[in-house]
Amino acid sequence: MSIDAVKEVVIMEKQGTQGRGRIIFHVDMNSFYASVEAAHNPDLRGKPLAIAGNVEERRGIVVTSSYEARKKGVKTTMPVWQAKKHCPELLVMPPNFPLYRQTSLQIFELLESYTPLVQPVSIDEGYLDLTDDCGDKSPVVIAEEIQKRIHDEIGIPCSIGIAPNKFLAKMASDMKKPLGITILRKREIDKLLWPLDVGEMHGVGKKTKEKLQELKITTIHDLAHANPVQLEMKLGINGKRLHDRANGNDNRPVDPDAIDDFKSVGNSTTFPEDLVDHHRINTALTNLADSVAKRMAKKNVLSFNIQLTIRYNDRTTVTRSRKLQNPISQSGDILEAAQHLFEKNWSGQPIRLLGITGQSLIDRNEATVQLDLFSFEADTKRADLQNTIGSIRAKYGESSLLKGNQLGKDGSHTLRDEKRRGTSLDRDFLWNYKKKKE
pLDDT over 60 (residue 170): yes
Q: Given the DSSP bridges, would you call strands 301-312 and 351-363 parallel, antiparallel or unpaired?
A: antiparallel
- pLDDT, tens only, 254-277: 988 776 555 678 888 889 899 999
Pairwise CA distance, residues 16 & 242, whole Å: 23
Superfamily of domain 1-187: Reverse transcriptase/Diguanylate cyclase domain (3.30.70.270)
Contact 310, 318 (CB under 8 A): yes
- pLDDT, tens only, 23-43: 999 999 999 999 999 999 999
CATH class of residue range 262-437: alpha beta
Within a 10 A sphere around the Cβ of 361, how many other Cβ atoms?
A: 20
Which residue numbers belong to the known binding site for Mg(2+)? 28, 124
Which residue numbers belong to the known binding site? 28, 124
Q: Which of 371, 304, 284, 294 is nearest to 330 (CA)?
A: 294
pTM of the model: 0.66
Q: Does domain 194-247 have CATH number 1.10.150.20?
A: yes
pLDDT over 90 (residue 427): no
pLDDT over 70 (residue 419): no
Quick one: pLDDT band at residue 72, thresholds 50, 70, 90?
Answer: very high
The amino acid present at 418, given as its one-letter code, is E
- pLDDT, tens only, 204-263: 988 999 999 999 999 999 999 999 999 999 999 899 999 999 999 999 999 887 765 556
Distances from the Cα of 59 to the Cα of 52, 307, 348, angstroms: 9, 23, 22
> Which residues are known catalytic residues?
125
The amino acid present at 189, given as its one-letter code, is I
Question: Which strand (E) or helix (H) includes residue 378?
Answer: helix 376-396
3-state secondary structure at position 231: helix
Would you list the domain boundaries of the chain?
1-187, 194-247, 262-437
DSSP output for 134-166: -TTS-HHHHHHHHHHHIIIII---EEEEEESSH
